[in-house]
Amino acid sequence: MTERWAVAVTESGGARLAPLDRTGRPTAPAVTEPDLAEAVRSRPGVTRWVWRSSAEVYPRLLAAGVPVARCYDIEVAESLLLGHEGRLGEPRSAAAAHARLLRGPVPPDPPPRSAVPGSQSSLFEPQSGTELPFDALLQVYADQLARHDATDRPGRMSLLTAAESAGMLVAAEMNRSGLPWRADVHREVLHELLGERYAGGGEPRKLAELADEVSAAFGRRVRPDLPADVVKAFAQAGIKVRSTRRWELEELDHPAVRPLVQYKKLYRIWTAHGWSWLQDWVRDGRFRPEYQPGGTVSGRWTTNGGGALQIPKVIRRAVVADEGWRLVVADADQMEPRVLAAISRDRGLMEVAGHDGDLYTALSDRAFHGDRDHAKIALLGAVYGQTSGDGLKNLAALRRRFPHAVAYVDDAAKAGEEGRLVRTWLGRTSPPAAGSGDDGEAGIPQESDEPPPDGPEAADGGFTPGYASSNARARGRFTRNFVVQGSAADWALLLLAALRQSIAAAGLRAELVFFQHDEVIVHCPLEEAGTVVEAIRAAGELAGRTAFGDTPVRFPFTTAVVERYSDAK
DNA sequence: TAAATTGGCGCC
DNA sequence: AAAGGGCGCCAATTTA
């Protein structure tokens, strides 16, 4: 039923291929064919392609118009397995994995490629030192399958590898399609906000004016973009400020505050998403960031250049659908609390998350006398490890009503403080604490197969006792958040995988063009919009069942069909 | 002189 | 009302 083939790119751009059995061993001699894309195209029965690296292989296939349904990305798997084994810092290339198999010297990973704006070609170039003979690749693959089986949760770890591999496909496809971007609209926005640009690359007019206002308010020349200068200026005016963070400045009664805050806001847009960004990152009506699935330790994506995951709200006006097309913008509602309900299996929280309506309202009805804000702050405080303020005050109420949910994140925090590792639901693992005996054996105890212990799953990561407690607490906050944020990222990967499958299965012209943690944008012909909305809803529910099994927790979306991104919500 | 760190703020 | 988690980006400053 499932037919797996391994494929590798040859030096001449051809393909080396072999069919594999369930344990990863070839069931026929490998063959070499002259054209990679043709080799893949001519084998439509293959349900999963096993390759070293999607970044190496998949852009070539897409360029030739040969998408694939599924893949197994060996370097993605290596990274996830190393993480699970508590060896996250070790080289993760297939060549390194093979060297470890042979107990030979392990080559270091090549340094990360820096972003080259607008360059697609970089994706085609294999990184030197990572090539591997085909037989060696197959050995690594078979070994990896066994290592999945040796984890404490073989099913979920295999799912994680499959999901992250699917993420690599989605990323390559989105890199290729790009986000529709109207440079002319972007310029309009910049002109409205910042005024004219002056020749010579200096500040645009409105920034210069605001800087003058700041200086006038202080009675001397002050550079608003230099925190040290601003702190000094306030000191001379008799006001002590610890920093120039916005919320701190806004407490002050001083005429410089308003223009200063405004300057900082616009300055950021100018430097991070201004004219030079536009020049660098937008070509032919598309913004093409280079997505990196699993770019963060928690499994959230990053982008390599372009800042695609931090597009300021005001700039989103420039994201405009093509003529006759629409953007379906879908935002998962309160994703992290829903995920916490699913992973902690707290009965009360599952009940609250078992409806499509606003989760915080439901929460406040149950435990906060209808005060939605308090409910929200308490829950986020629990997930983020808030140490003071209202969140802490309301935490007690949360703990009373939802003891298992709070215990789940508390246990994760304790694990972190004690230097142990924590894992997401599918098994992505936190990095070892800095200075916790690094290299070599990590001595993770492996126990039974399958389902969850009651708390967050902690593994021994070589705790070094006698640590500075503020470090330990910071690490506790990190691991506390990690289990929720990371499990949410697990779910989001499955969502993407399900969505791209259903778009393909329905034969739509729709394209996934944007993904940001809990939000997707699909660009589609107007007449497909309804189908796409339904596909997203279904994919969210399927992702929930696939990740968490039989759970009452719902994963609804707020969806908008719009012509411009800024018109969503 | 180049690399690493810091402060600040955009997004989630 | 207060400032907890994850990032990327930019400019300035510090360190090697």
Residues whose CB falls within 8 Å of the CB of residue A566, separated by 6 or more in sequence, listed in order? A313, A314, A316, A317, A319
Instruction: Check residues 209 to 248 of chain A and report those whose beta carbon is under 7 Å from nucleic acid strand B.
Output: 227, 231, 243-246
- Contact predicate A477/A384, CB 8 Å: yes
A310 touches strand C (CB under 7 A): yes
Chain C positions with a protein C-beta closer than 7 Å:
1-13
Gap between the Cα atoms of A377 and A183, Å rounded: 39
Q: Tokens standing for A155?
A: 């099913």
The CATH code for residues A184-279 is 1.20.1060.10
Region for residue A268 given its phi and psi (left: phi exceeds 0; alpha: psi -120 to 50; beta: otherwise): alpha
Nearest to A7 by CA among A74, A107, A102, A62: A74
Q: A569 beta carbon < 7 A from strand B?
A: no
User: Nearest residue to nucleotide B9 when comparing alpha carbons to its C1'?
Assistant: A268
Residues in CB range of A213: below 8 A, 6 or more apart: A256, A259
Are the CB atoms for A558 and A330 separated by under 8 Å? yes
For tokens 């890199």, name the residue.
A175
Spatial separation of the C-alpha atoms in residues A79 and A109, rounded to whole Å:
12
Beta strands A557-562 and A325-332, pairing class: antiparallel
Residue A184 phi, psi (nearest 5): -65, -40
Residue nearest to nucleotide B7 (CA to C1'): A227
Taking the C-alpha atoms of residue A184 and residue A218, their distance in angstroms, rounded to an integer, is 38
Residue intervals of chain A classified under CATH 1.20.1060.10 are: 184-279
What are the DSSP calls for A239-292, one per residue? ---S---HHHHTT---TTHHHHHHHHHHHHHHHHHSHHHHHHHEETTEE---EE
Provide residues 262-281 of A with CB closer than 7 Å to any strand B atom: 264-265, 268, 272
Please report the pLDDT score of residue A268 as a whole number.
87
Q: Closest nucleotide to residue A387 (Cα to C1')? A: C4
Mean pLDDT split into 10-residue runs, chain A, 569 residues: 91 95 95 97 97 96 97 97 92 95 92 60 46 93 98 97 97 94 94 85 87 92 89 90 87 91 90 90 92 92 87 93 97 94 95 94 90 88 79 81 93 92 95 60 31 42 49 88 94 96 97 95 98 97 96 95 92
Alpha helices in A385-528 (DSSP H): 390-401, 403-417, 469-505
Tell me the one-letter amino acid at A494: L
CB A555 within 8 A of CB A491: yes
Q: Which helix (H) or strand (E) holds A6?
A: strand A4-9
How would you classify the pairing of strands A31-33 and A15-20? antiparallel
Report d(CA A485, CA A338) in Å as an integer: 11
Instruction: In chain A, list all ranges with CATH 3.30.70.370.
Output: 289-334+490-568
A278 touches strand C (CB under 7 A): no
| Residue A306 Cβ under 7 A from any strand C atom | yes
CA nearest neighbour of A414 among A457, A452, A448: A457
Whether the CB-CB separation of A306 and A115 falls below 8 Å is answered with yes
Asked if residue A376 lies in contact with residue A360, where contact means CB atoms within 8 angstroms, the answer is yes
- Yes or no: domain A289-334+490-568 corresponds to CATH 3.30.70.270: no
Determine the distance between A434 (CA) and C15 (C1') in angstroms: 21
Which residue has its C-alpha nearest to nucleotide C2's C1'?
A: A389
Chain region(s) in chain A for CATH 3.30.420: 4-177
CATH T-level topology, domain A4-177:
Nucleotidyltransferase; domain 5 (3.30.420)
What's A565's DSSP letter? Answer: G
Distances (CA, A) of A500 to A14, A63, A426, A521: 27, 18, 20, 12
Q: State the helix-helix crossing angle for A257-273 and A205-218, rounded to 10 degrees.
A: 150
The closest alpha carbon to A496, from A294, A357, A308, belongs to A294
- A53 φ/ψ angles, rounded to the nearest 5 degrees: -155, 125
Placement of tokens 């064919």 in the chain = A33
Block residue for tokens 């990053």: A302
Provide the positions of strand B that have an atom within 7 A of a protein CB.
7-12
